[in-house]
Every structure is written in structure tokens, then in C-alpha cells.
Structure 1
Amino acid sequence: MSHMNMIQALNSAMDVMMARDPGVVVLGEDVGYFGGVFRTTDGLQRKYGEHRVLDTPITEGGIVAAAIGMAVNGLRPVAEIQFADYIYPAYDQIVSELARIRYRTGGEFAAPVTIRTPCGGGIRGGQTHSQSPEALFAHICGLKVVMPSNPYDAKGLLISAIEDEDPVVFFEPKRLYNGPFDGDPDKPATAWSSHPRGNVPEGHYRVPIGLAEIIRPGGQVTIVTYGTMVHVCLASARGLGVDAEIIDLRTIAPLDVETIAASVKKTGRCIVAHEATRFAGFGAEILASIQEDCFWHLEAPIQRVAGWDTPYPHAFEWEYFPGQARVSAAIKATLEAS
């Protein structure tokens, strides 16, 4: 067991899988010689060679198209899109080709492609380096969509994604790369080494795709969240002294409706929180599922906490970001409602 930040955990996952399976290859912009813009692939090309860690041209559609060709010919490519904001030129390849291969070939071909991409804000990257487009991919049949909140889950989920026979879009909240935080921009990040989820096994292990985790049991209100917002919601619940049950989805698609429903039926109150834009964000799907399964158990309207319905604002990043104040207000509102 080692103390790792999320960057180290992701690097370890790829290292473990490349050592175990010669069919695992990594490709993307600057992933080889440079080791990735966030250093997540650092050292892999030196260890496994240029034929397994490939620096590509700046062509996201070409990266995904090449990964699809590799996958249908027996490899397990891990394709990095440098920022989630850059993934749109590859969207047609992902939606029209990658997601449909198993179905359109009647199961003759699978597409074990993992697409890794950093997402979200918090690094003052502006609207072209800060987007959270997970809802666009959760809507696509044939794709699995993952977003971890800590190093332990990041490594275990990435290993599961690489071993999966179906394509996985793996979002990595870049604000969590070096450590968790409490949602306050004026406070430094806490080192992962002091966080229980920073303890990461050095070898192979899996975290199952499609299974949420209750990271804080409680009885007053259920908070459903994922990625960066897990830490904001934890800080809000602690700050208010509320007996909140917090669910880290870990996987966005397929959604673990059973865990969510069981919690909401117990507490009778629910908040859904994510960093992405509110309108048509993935929180709406979570809310609809809760309404369908738990209507007669609800004691108050479901609250949503999310980003603004605007392009990601460079100058007002911390106002856009749904921090502790907005989560705490939602907790108070749902607890006071009757």
C-alpha cells in the first residue's frame, strides 16, 4: 500500500495493465516523451517503448479512430484526450462508431477502448480548459462513463475500464489530481497522503464499474454526487453538523439506481450536486430516477446544485463553481421543507 495522489494512481493503473497485458497501448498528444500535460503517463514510454506509448498528432478524431482500429484488431488502447474540452472533434467517432460496434456487428466485434480525459474547473483554465461534458456521453447507448473522486477509486476503476470489453469514457477531475480540498479557493489542497482514499495498493485490483459507494452514512438527507463535488458536499455536511448520507456515484453510466433509491427511501430527502451546467445536466437524470422510484417516500422537493447555465466564465470561475455555500443552502432548504 502506498500514498498516492490521483495522477500517481492513474499512472500506476496503466503501468500495471501494460505489464500484465502486452495488448494494452497508450496513445494521445504528448503522452510519450513528455509524459502528458498533467504527467499521468510519465515514464511509460521509457519503460514500454514508442510502439506501446504513442505520441499522436493534434487530431482528436484521429486518436479515437486509431484506437477503434486497434481495438477491433485485438488490442486494448487507452486513448488520452488532453482536455475534455477538446473531445468534440472526436464525438462523431465515439458516438457513431465506437459506441455501436458491438451492436452493429451482432457481437462479432467488441471495442475495448478506454478514453481518458481531464475534466472540470478549478485551475483557472477558462472556458476552453474547464468543461464537464459527462452528460453528453451518458446519453449514448453503448458507452460506459466513469468519474472517480479519489486515488483509490481512480486506479481501480481505470483497471476495470481497460479490462472491460466495452468502451469507457473516463473523466478525471483535474482539480483532484494533486489532492482533495474543501471547496474554499483560499485554502490549499490537503495532501492525499493524509486522506484514507490516498492509500492505494501498488498492484492489480479492480473497483467495479456501475457500483456507487456510500462514503458517509446518515439518516437526515441523501446527497448524490460525483467527482470534485464529493469533497465539497462532505465539507458542507461536516460544517453544518448534518447527518447527511453522501453517495459517490463513481460511475455515471450505468447509473446505480438501486443504491440511490435505498438511501432516499431511508432519509426521505435528497440533494443532487454536480459541477456541470444545471440545465440538461446529468443531475436531471438522477432526479428523474429518484422521482420514479421514491416519490411516495419523499418528504421534501429534491434540490439540485450545479454550475451556471452559461459558458464556463474565466473571470468568475469561483462564482460559477458550486461551492460549500450553495451546497449548504440546499441542505438547509431541504431540511426545513415540509
Structure 2
Amino acid sequence: MIAIFKTKCLLLIRNPLHYIISTLIICLFVYLMGYQSNESIAIASSLNEEKTTQILQGMPFYNYELHTELEARELVGKSKMKVAIFLYEKEFKLVVASDFMDSALLQNELKMQYQKALMTKELSPAFQLNYENDEYIYSHSLLMLFSFSLFMVIYTVASGVSYILAERNSGVWDRLLVSSISKWQAYTANLAYAFCISYAQMILVFSIFHYVAGVDFYGKFIYALLSLIPYLLCVIALAIFIASITSTVSQFNTMMMVIAISFSMLGGLYWSLEFVSSPIIYALSYISPIKYGLEILNGVTLYNSTWNELLQPISILLFMAVVLMGIGINMMEKKANV
């Protein structure tokens, strides 16, 4: 088993181009979607420069232009800008155009920045924010990082699991089983390889954005990494199931691509599920592992949830992993015996 695992790792080391490219694509997508925006916002602030900067630095995904309050209102009124933010000592106000769709998200982000400022006593303690446990909290940078990472890692998992299908079709799998290696050792080695390369990729991507780009994990960076494990186990089991119902590697890759895109749309990659109005789309989201992966990651970082509070999404992912893995391996063995 260890020999198979080492062989897979050596093959990756000798030809790491695909792995490197997929890692760079994740970083590029997160950067472009999370940190680049053509949307400009007019800012009118009664705070001093230091306090204004502190608030705006926490929201790096917009372009800010400082104006007087009158100028800011005129810019929105004349449709030259879609949003104006007025920052005061004890409150903030938004003036938005009718076609600006992210006002609720922007408002929640501003609330978070005011709350952080209060914690450091940079703003007047007379400003009060009351948070309920079920209130939606939004962080654009974390949402993009989590969403695109969970989406793109599906392809990394697929590349690892595809070895099983390729080896079965080429006859290598049968030759391995003729030797002293048992079926469970062959499966375990391949699945362990798929898990390790995907988990290592997530650690690398998260570390780049945390330590280099300065993405705030709210003190839960290590916990965020640990919370990836149930999701990866579920995706690996899903890949095994898809491999069991396909005959060639090309069919497997096509199916995994379709499933990855579908689950990303249903799981909250392109839009936050909290703002989905269609009951059908929201109901379909429950079949997407990405939904539960995001729920766990957001709970750990943004909502400061305990592991007991995250037991439900973790249990669902593990249940899906067990069911899909059991069905997938069973179907593979039946096909091999036909």
C-alpha cells in the first residue's frame, strides 16, 4: 500500500505542471473575484483619516473616492456612481441607486467593520450594534476564497481518483492484485493519495491568502483547515461513485466537470444562498457538498460556531461520503466480476 502511494507521489513530482496550474487558477480566480472590482463608491466621512482608513481597509473589493456629502449624493442622483457611504461617529448611512443589487451585502460588511472598530475602541463606545445568532454576516474575500477553493479542488480530487479507473482499464489494477497487495490496500493507497494532494493544495491556497494577501480568518485559520476534511472525504467518495458508473477516464472527467459546475451553482459559488428567492433552487442546494462545506467554513470563521453547532453539516458530509463510497466501490467490484 505504501509503495503504491509513494509511486503516485513520485509521478506527481516528476510531472507537477497540472497540479501547479490548478493551484494558480484557484489563486487567480479568488484574486480577480475577491479583490478586483470596477464598482466605485463615493465616501463622505465625518471621521478622522485614521478611522476612515480603518473602516475602508476591511473592504478591499471596491474602489473608494472621497467626496463631501453633497457631492456624494449628487453623484448617485446623476447615476455617475451607484453607491454613496456616509461614515459618522455613531452610525453609517447608505445611498444607493435602484439597480445596485449588493446593498444588503455592503451593509452587513460595514456593520462588521464598525463592530471590529468598536472592539479596538477606535470608535465611540456609544455606537451600539446588536447581533443575533441567526443574522447573516458577509465577508466578500472569505466567500470568494472558500467558494472557488471548494469548487476547484473537485478537479484535483478527480485527477487523483482517475488513476483507479485508468489502472483498471489498462490492466495494471489486476496485476497489482495478483501480487501480495489486497483490494483494500489498493483502494486505500489511491484514495489516500487523492486526499493528500487535494488537502495540500487547500493548505497552500489558504496560506497564500492568509499570510500573503492578508485575508482575515478571524483567528480561526487552523480550524478552517481542519474543517475542510469532511468536505474532501465527501468529494473523494463522490469521485469514486462517478468512476463506478463511467467506463473511460474521459467520461469520468466530463461527468466530474458537469457535477462540479452544477454543485457550485447550487452550493452558493455564484450567489449567496441567503439571498436566493427561488424555493426550488434553495431545495436543490441540499444535494451539493459545497453548500455544507461553505456552511462549516463560514461557521468556523465568521460566526464563531462551536463544533457542536457544526455537527449537522459535518454529519451530512460524512454520511454522504460513506454512502457514495460504499455504493461506488461495490459497483466497481461488480463491473470487474462481469
TM-score (norm 1): 0.32
Q: In terms of Rg, which structure is larger?
A: 2
The structure carrying a bigger helix percent of its residues is 2
